[in-house]
Structure 1
Amino acid sequence: MLRNLCITAALCLATTAIAAPEGRVHVIDGDTMDIGGTRVRLHAIDAPELDQMCDDDTGATWACGDWVKRETRALFEGKSAICKSRDTDRYGRTVATCRIDGIDMGATLVTSGLAFAYRRYGMEYDLAEKGAAIAARGLHATNVMSPSAFRAARQVPGHSVQVRGETGAKTVRVPDKTASAKRGWLPNALNSACTIKGNISSKGVRIYHVPGQDYYDATRISATKGEKWFCSEAEARAAGWRKARK
């Protein structure tokens, strides 16, 4: 009897060890999700904290942590993911590599400039980050403190966290680009005068909406999908967008 109990216990432990989260995705922030009811920290990536701020070359400050959360939700919320567990972190979260329709979620976030490769824990996304930096995608088009440095600075009593001052998350030198080209990836918070929304429909049609049109307020811009803000209708048309019919 004791031998059978031991065998049963061993089998249960083995099953627990290889069990991996699977199910619908609910995004908590740029690198943390609830997947099938399990809290998951994506392996080898690091995204800005929810309260983290960034700025652009003009010094305009914006809530990049919240922006990353919203962009990540636009990509993954409600979809079905399958994960491979790797570890459990000090907060009790399952550290895992997860895929949606066979596509690595971590790779998607790093390639889009929504998260950085966390080389301390793995080199899987090193080249993806370098490509995003060269193209100035997402966070690479702005001034951002690496999330790990931000967390460390925030823990120092009486220390005021600065937006600038540590940009170790950038792994390569980004070629100079015009300010408008770099800001084209970023939220409208950085170009408040540019109010025209360049949306891409489900059929791939590029349509822009101007303030006052029927669907202007309901239209959301996702930089990771190639959508962007424009400062004039002429600029939108030159980029290949047509005006919404109403």
Structure 2
Amino acid sequence: MKNIIFALFISTLVLSACTEETSTNIIENEDIEALISSTIENAEKHDVSKFEEYELESVIDGDTIRIKYNGSSEKVRFLLVDTPETNHETLGEQPYGPEAKEFTKQLLAGQDTVYLEFDVSYRDKYKRLLAYIYTKEGISVQEQLLKNGLARVAYIYDPNTKHVDWFKSIQKTAQQSAIGIWSVEDYVTNRGYDKEAYYAITEKNKDDKKTENDKSITNNSSCVIKGNINSKGNKIYHMPGQRDYDNTIAEEMFCTEKEAEDGGFLPAKQ
């Protein structure tokens, strides 16, 4: 079900091919809602009874939330995953960044608390908390971001590698399905996301589609044989230059006489 939904999303990629710093809007909010509905229904539910529960304050980005931790408001960076940026000071907004944020936001909608599974180290060099995030129902947020092509496995630093093999296996399936961030070749790199590569490829796709459409129009313009069904039910085709050609209203157009005759039409006598 999810792959079908995403296949529809990917068909709209060319609409977002723009070199300006504007919102990509690749997936509409109602599409995210459908994806979330499918995710909640079908996602594996993990046992969170041994994890720590904290008050959820807000969703900052696709891979970052804010919680109430020991009486203080703190950022939590999702371990082992990286989603495209939405408002980075140097990178700006990246394709699929807003979609990843909206996905996380809607997946956690109505959740006043979240469950955190810590690894060995609790914080990164920026003093942010590091954790695996779960809903009350036991849905892994990282798992679903990866599964739906909205995040890559990244920032693998010892000793926090508990779920790296699990996450990589999920990512591999998303890559093979070419969904989300994996739908545009060379957009995902070992260093992050290459926005220029994304726009170059989507622009090329748009140009290729235009060329295809132009060819189709050219080919169709050569199909000038008019097929008409008269009042007696006779199927007649008219060639350009024949007496009644200009006055004939075509039920069908044909490119060759053989095509017309194969369709059951006979040549006009005049």
* Higher-Rg member (1/2): 2
- Larger helix proportion of the pair: 2
TM-score by length of 2: 0.42
TM-score by length of 1: 0.46
